C-alpha cells in the first residue's frame, strides 16, 4: 500500500498565532502561509524531515469546544524544563481526568488543544 499521512490539520480561529506557538515549541519551519492557513514542516535535513507529517493550521469561524479527539504527544529530553518552556510560550497545564500518578503532563496550546509532554526515554529504552 502506498498511503502515508501528509499532514495533521488543526482548526483555529487564528492560524498565524497558533502556528507561531507550535513553530517556537517544535523549532519547525513555516513553509506556506496565507490568511486562512499556515503549514509547518520539520527543519530541512532533520531526522523528521520528509517523515513526520506536516502541521496544517486552518482558519475556522468557531472556537474549540470540548476535548480533542486527536492530540499530539511530544517527548523531550527534560520534561520539567520543557513544560516550563512551553508555559512561557503560552501553553498551560490541563486536567482531562488523567490523575496525579501519570508520567506525562497534559497541556493546552494557546487555543486550548490538548497535547501531552511525555517523560524522557531511559537509557535502556533508547538502547532498544
Helices within 37-89 (DSSP H only): 79-89
Q: pLDDT, tens digit, for every residue of 2-19?
A: 888 999 999 999 999 999
What residue ranges of the chain are covered by domains with CATH 3.10.180.10? 64-128
Predicted model pTM: 0.92
Q: Return the pLDDT at 2.
A: 85
Q: What average pLDDT does the segment 95-124 reach?
A: 95
Reported confidence tier of residue 1, pLDDT bands at 50, 70, 90:
confident
Q: pLDDT, tens digit, for every residue of 53-107?
A: 999 999 999 999 988 989 999 999 999 999 999 999 999 999 999 999 999 999 9
Selecting from 3.10.180.10, 3.20.20.80, 3.90.420.10, 3.20.20.70, what CATH number does the domain 64-128 have?
Answer: 3.10.180.10
What residue ranges of the chain are covered by domains with CATH 3.30.720.120? 1-63
| Domain at 1-63: CATH architecture | 2-Layer Sandwich (3.30)
Beta-strand runs (E) in 1-128 = 7-12, 29-34, 37-41, 54-59, 72-74, 92-93, 105-108, 114-117
Q: What average pLDDT does the segment 40-64 reach?
A: 96
Amino acid at each position: 500500500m502506498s498511503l502515508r499521512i501528509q499532514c495533521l490539520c488543526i482548526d483555529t480561529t487564528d492560524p498565524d498565532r497558533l502556528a507561531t506557538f507550535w513553530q517556537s515549541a517544535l523549532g519547525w519551519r513555516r513553509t506556506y502561509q496565507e490568511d486562512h492557513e499556515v503549514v509547518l514542516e520539520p527543519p530541512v535535513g532533520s531526522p523528521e524531515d520528509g517523515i513526520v507529517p506536516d502541521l496544517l493550521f486552518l482558519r475556522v469561524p468557531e472556537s474549540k469546544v470540548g476535548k480533542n479527539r486527536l492530540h499530539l504527544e511530544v517527548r523531550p529530553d527534560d520534561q520539567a524544563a520543557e513544560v516550563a518552556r512551553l508555559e512561557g510560550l503560552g501553553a498551560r497545564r490541563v486536567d482531562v481526568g488523567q490523575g496525579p500518578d501519570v508520567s506525562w503532563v497534559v497541556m493546552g496550546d494557546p487555543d486550548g488543544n490538548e497535547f501531552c509532554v511525555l517523560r524522557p526515554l531511559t537509557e535502556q529504552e533508547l538502547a532498544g
